[in-house]
C-alpha cells in the first residue's frame, strides 16, 4: 500500500499472500457497502503523507481473511465492520526508530458519512460481540484520533477461528482521550468491583508557590506537565471538576477509573457519573443536584498560600459559576514536615472596616498591599480541621492538606505580594466579575461575606476536632469534616490483623493514607513513591448501594494500622 492507493471495491476474500497493514492510511475513494452507508477516507495532504511512514506497521502472514461490512442498525445508519482471520496468523509489531519524535502527533481519519450517520466499530468472535466506541478527536467531532505508537492489535483464541481486533487507545497523561463505553459496560465494570471503582491518580500542577514534596510523587516527576505549568502540588480525588488554572488540559482535574490494571486503559469518572447517575451516587444527590457534587484533594505547598477568596453565593450567581465551599483536614501521614509557616489566616480582625480593606485592594498595582496585616492567624494542629465556607478570605498555611470541597475551582486573589516574593497582577484580583465591573472595588469587595469574615468567635464556629462516628473490635471511625451543608469526611482506622464491615449512609470516595489490606475485593495499599502516569491501589469510589450494604475492610499487616480517609457529599448524615 502506498500513500495514494485506492480501493475499487471490497470483497469477502483476500488472496493468500503476505500483506502490510498500516495503522492509519489515507484512502482517496469512498468505500460503500450494499446497505448504502458510505465511508470516505480523505487524504490529509502533506502532513499526513509525511508522517504516515512514521506510524507503527503491523505485518501479517495471511492465509485467508474475511472482511464483513454492513449496517448494524438501518434506522440509525450505524456502520458495522469486523475482520475474521484463519488460525495461525503471525503478527509482528515493528516500531519506527523515530517514533518517539512523533509521539505527540495524532493521526486523523475523517469519516464522512451520510447525514445523521453514527460510527461504531465492533470486535467479532464466534462466541460474543463487543462494542468499542471510538475516541473523539478534539479537532473534529467526526474525527477518530489514533496515537500510532499505542495502536494495539489483540488476538483472542476462540477455537477454529481467531479474530483480529483492534482497540485504539490515546494515552497521554496530560491530554488523555479515553474510549467511550456504554451504560451496560459501565455497569459491568461497577458490578465486577462489587460496587467499588478503583481510580487512577489525578495530578494537578500550579504556576505559583513551591512544592512541599509530600504527595509521594517521584521527585523526577515534579514538573511532569512542563516548566510553564509549574510543579505538581495537588492530587484530586473523585473529581468531575476541570482545573481552572490557565493552560489546563481538556481533562485536567478529572478523575479516571482503572478498568483492567493497564494505565493506558482508563475511563473518565465523569462518564460513570453522567451515565449511571443515581445508580452510582444515590437518588438524593440526583434529585437535588443532578450529579456528584463534590471532590477532594491533597494540596501540598511548602510556603503559605496567598490571601484569597472563593466567591460567595450571590457573587457566583451573577456570573453563572458555582461557589466553592471547602473543608480542611491535616493528616499526620502526609505531613512529615510542616513547611515554612504552619499557620492559616481567616478573614479579618473584627475591628477592621470595609474601608480599610478597600484601601489595601486599591494598592494592588502600585505597592505591596500587606493585606495580611488586617487578618488573623491560627496555628494548625495535625489531626484536626476547619470548615471554610465560600465568601471567607483565607491564606492557608504550609501543611499538606486533605480538602473535601464543592465542585468548583473559582477564586480571586486579594494579596498581591506573597511572603515568598511572588507577585500577582490585577487579573488575579478581578476574576469572575460581571463584565465592566473589573475595576469596581465595591464589586470586588462584595464577593466576600463580610459578616463571616469578621466573626468574633470564628474558631468556635468553624474549627473541627475529630468526633467519634463508630468503633468496634479492632477499628475506629471518626468524623473529621462535618458541620456544614456541603461536604464531609471520615477517618477509618483498622488495627493490624483486624477486619470490619463498615456501613455508611451515602456514596463516597476514599484514599488509603497508611498501611495495606483489602478494601472489598480490591487489594489496597498506601504507596511509598508514585511515578507520574502509573496506577496506585490507594484510591477508590464506593457506590451508594455498596456503601449502605457495607464494605469489608481488612488490615493484612501484622504491625501497621490501615488508615482510610473517606469524602462524602451532603447526604451522608454528618453531625
C-alpha 187/C-alpha 238 separation (Å) is 17
Query: CA torsion, points 184, 186, 189, 193, in degrees to nearest 10?
Result: -110
- Residues 500 and 532: beta-carbon distance below 8 Å: no
Residue 53, pLDDT above cutoff 90 = no
Reduced 3-state DSSP string for 387-422: EECCCCCEECCCCCEECCEECCCCCEECCCECCCCC
Instruction: Please report how the helices 183-192 and 269-276 are oriented relative to each other, as an axis angle in degrees rounded to 10.
Output: 110
- Mean pLDDT throughout 300-321? 96
- Mean pLDDT throughout 166-172? 31
Of 111-115, 216-220, 351-355, the poorest mean pLDDT is in 111-115
Split at pLDDT 50, 70, 90, the class of 35 is very low
Split at pLDDT 50, 70, 90, the class of 248 is confident
* Extents of the domains making up the chain: 17-172, 186-464, 467-568
Query: What is the distance of C-alpha 469 from the center of its chain?
Result: 30
- The pairing of strands 256-258 and 266-268 is antiparallel
Strands across the sheet containing 256-258: 266-268, 256-258, 196-200, 539-542, 508-514, 562-568, 488-494, 475-481, 467-472
C-alpha 191/C-alpha 322 separation (Å) is 32
Taking only Cα atoms into account, the Rg of the chain, rounded to an integer number of angstroms, comes to: 27
What the block records as the C-alpha cell of 448 is 466576600
Q: What is the pLDDT of residue 570?
A: 98
Cell 510523587 -> residue: 217
- Mean pLDDT throughout 191-219? 97
Query: Which residues does residue 93 pair with via DSSP β-bridges, in sequence order?
Result: 58
Of 101-110, 168-177, 192-201, the poorest mean pLDDT is in 101-110
Q: How far is CA 265 from CA 167, 268, 519, in A?
A: 10, 10, 22
- Mean pLDDT throughout 348-361? 98
Give which of 530, 478, 552, 539 is closest to 511, Cα–Cα. Answer: 539
The DSSP annotation for 167-211 comes to EE-B--TTS-B-----HHHHHHHHHHTTTEEEEE-EEEEESSS-B
**CATH 2.60.120.10 fits domain 186-464:** yes
Split at pLDDT 50, 70, 90, the class of 123 is very low
- Residues 22 and 45: beta-carbon distance below 8 Å: no
Residue 65, pLDDT above cutoff 50 = no
| Identical fold between 186-464 and 467-568 | yes
Give which of 573, 567, 575, 570 is closest to 255, Cα–Cα. Answer: 567
Split at pLDDT 50, 70, 90, the class of 181 is confident
Residue 533, pLDDT above cutoff 50 = yes
C-alpha 281/C-alpha 543 separation (Å) is 6
- Residues 342 and 295: beta-carbon distance below 8 Å: no
102 contact partners, CB below 8 Å, separation of at least 6: 51, 54, 148, 149
Split at pLDDT 50, 70, 90, the class of 167 is very low
Q: What is the pLDDT of residue 561?
A: 98
Q: What is the pLDDT of residue 17?
A: 37
Give the three-class secondary structure for 324: coil
Q: What is the pLDDT of residue 423?
A: 95
Percent of residues, the chain, with pLDDT higher than 90: 66
Residue 115, pLDDT above cutoff 70 = no
- The pairing of strands 343-346 and 508-514 is unpaired
Q: What is the pLDDT of residue 31?
A: 35
Tens of pLDDT along 255-272?
A: 999 999 999 999 999 999
Q: Which has the higher per-residue pLDDT, 399 or 246?
A: 399
Query: Which residues does residue 97 pair with via DSSP β-bridges, in sequence order?
Result: none
Tens of pLDDT along 387-444?
A: 999 999 999 999 999 999 999 989 999 999 998 789 999 999 999 999 999 999 999 9
Q: Which residues of 49-80 are buried (b: 16+ CB within 10 A; e: fewer)?
A: eebbebbbbbebebeebeeebebbeeeebbbb
C-alpha 512/C-alpha 134 separation (Å) is 34
- Mean pLDDT throughout 513-518? 98
- Residues 144 and 132: beta-carbon distance below 8 Å: no
- Residues 297 and 210: beta-carbon distance below 8 Å: no
C-alpha 556/C-alpha 419 separation (Å) is 45
Q: What is the pLDDT of residue 180?
A: 63
Give which of 322, 311, 346, 306 is closest to 461, Cα–Cα. Answer: 346
**CATH 2.60.40.1180 fits domain 467-568:** no
What the block records as the C-alpha cell of 114 is 451520510
C-alpha 516/C-alpha 554 separation (Å) is 9
116 contact partners, CB below 8 Å, separation of at least 6: 77
Q: What is the pLDDT of residue 245?
A: 82
Amino acid at each position: 500500500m502506498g500513500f495514494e492507493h485506492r480501493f475499487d471495491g471490497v470483497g469477502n476474500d483476500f488472496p493468500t499472500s503476505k500483506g502490510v497493514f498500516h495503522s492509519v492510511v489515507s484512502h482517496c475513494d469512498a468505500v460503500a457497502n450494499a446497505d448504502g452507508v458510505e465511508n470516505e477516507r480523505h487524504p490529509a495532504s502533506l502532513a499526513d503523507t509525511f508522517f504516515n511512514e512514521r506510524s507503527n506497521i503491523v505485518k501479517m502472514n495471511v492465509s485467508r481473511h474475511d472482511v464483513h461490512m454492513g449496517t448494524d442498525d438501518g434506522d440509525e445508519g450505524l456502520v458495522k465492520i469486523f475482520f475474521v482471520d484463519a488460525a495461525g496468523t503471525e503478527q509482528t509489531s515493528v516500531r519506527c526508530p523515530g517514533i518517539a519524535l512523533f509521539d505527540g502527533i495524532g493521526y486523523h481519519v475523517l469519516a464522512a458519512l451520510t447525514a445523521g450517520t453514527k460510527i461504531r466499530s465492533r470486535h467479532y468472535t464466534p462466541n460474543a460481540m463487543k462494542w468499542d466506541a471510538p475516541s473523539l478527536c478534539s479537532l473534529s467531532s467526526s474525527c477518530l484520533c489514533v496515537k500510532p505508537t499505542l495502536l494495539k492489535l489483540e488476538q483472542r483464541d476462540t477455537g477454529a477461528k481467531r479474530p483480529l481486533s483492534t482497540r485504539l487507545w490515546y494515552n497521554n497523561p496530560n491530554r488523555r482521550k479515553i474510549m467511550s463505553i456504554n451504560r451496560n459496560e459501565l455497569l459491568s465494570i461497577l458490578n465486577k468491583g462489587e460496587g467499588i471503582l478503583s481510580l487512577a491518580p489525578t495530578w494537578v500542577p500550579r504556576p505559583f508557590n513551591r512544592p512541599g514534596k509530600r504527595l509521594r510523587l517521584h521527585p523526577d516527576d515534579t514538573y511532569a506537565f512542563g516548566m510553564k505549568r509549574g510543579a505538581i502540588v495537588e492530587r484530586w480525588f473523585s473529581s468531575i471538576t476541570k482545573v481552572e488554572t490557565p493552560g489546563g488540559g481538556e481533562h485536567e482535574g478529572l478523575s479516571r477509573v482503572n478498568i483492567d490494571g493497564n494505565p493506558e486503559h482508563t475511563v473518565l469518572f465523569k462518564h460513570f457519573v453522567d451515565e449511571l447517575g443515581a445508580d452510582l451516587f444515590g437518588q438524593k444527590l440526583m434529585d437535588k443536584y443532578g450529579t456528584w457534587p463534590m471532590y477532594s484533594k491533597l494540596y501540598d505547598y511548602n510556603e503559605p498560600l496567598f490571601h484569597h477568596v472563593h466567591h460567595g453565593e450571590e457573587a457566583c450567581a451573577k456570573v453563572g459559576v458555582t461557589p466553592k465551599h471547602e473543608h480542611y483536614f491535616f493528616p499526620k501521614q502526609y505531613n512529615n514536615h510542616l513547611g515554612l509557616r504552619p499557620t492559616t489566616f481567616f478573614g479579618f480582625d473584627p475591628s477592621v472596616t470595609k474601608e480599610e480593606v478597600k484601601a489595601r485592594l486599591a494598592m494592588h498595582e502600585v505597592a505591596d498591599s500587606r493585606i495580611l496585616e488586617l487578618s488573623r492567624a491560627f496555628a494548625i494542629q495535625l489531626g484536626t480541621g476547619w470548615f471554610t465556607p465560600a465568601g471567607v478570605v483565607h491564606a492557608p498555611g504550609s501543611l499538606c492538606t486533605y480538602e473535601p470541597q464543592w465542585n468548583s475551582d473559582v477564586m480571586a486573589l486579594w494579596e498581591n505580594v506573597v511572603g515568598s516574593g511572588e507577585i500577582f497582577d490585577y487579573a488575579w484580583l478581578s476574576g469572575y466579575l460581571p463584565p465592566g465591573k473589573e475595576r469596581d472595588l465595591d464589586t470586588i469587595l462584595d464577593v466576600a461575606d463580610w459578616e463571616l469574615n469578621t466573626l468574633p468567635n470564628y474558631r468556635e464556629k468553624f474549627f473541627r476536632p475529630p468526633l467519634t462516628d463508630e468503633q468496634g473490635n479492632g477499628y475506629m471511625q471518626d468524623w473529621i469534616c462535618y458541620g456544614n451543608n456541603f461536604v464531609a469526611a471520615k477517618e477509618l482506622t483498622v488495627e493490624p490483623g483486624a477486619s470490619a464491615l463498615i456501613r455508611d449512609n451515602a456514596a463516597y470516595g476514599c484514599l488509603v493514607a497508611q498501611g495495606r489490606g483489602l478494601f472489598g475485593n480490591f487489594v489496597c495499599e498506601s504507596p511509598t513513591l508514585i511515578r507520574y502516569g502509573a496506577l496506585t491501589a490507594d484510591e477508590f469510589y464506593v457506590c451508594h448501594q455498596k456503601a449502605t450494604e457495607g464494605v469489608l475492610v481488612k488490615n493484612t499487616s501484622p504491625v501497621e494500622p490501615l488508615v482510610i480517609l473517606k469524602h462524602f457529599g451532603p447526604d451522608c448524615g454528618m453531625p
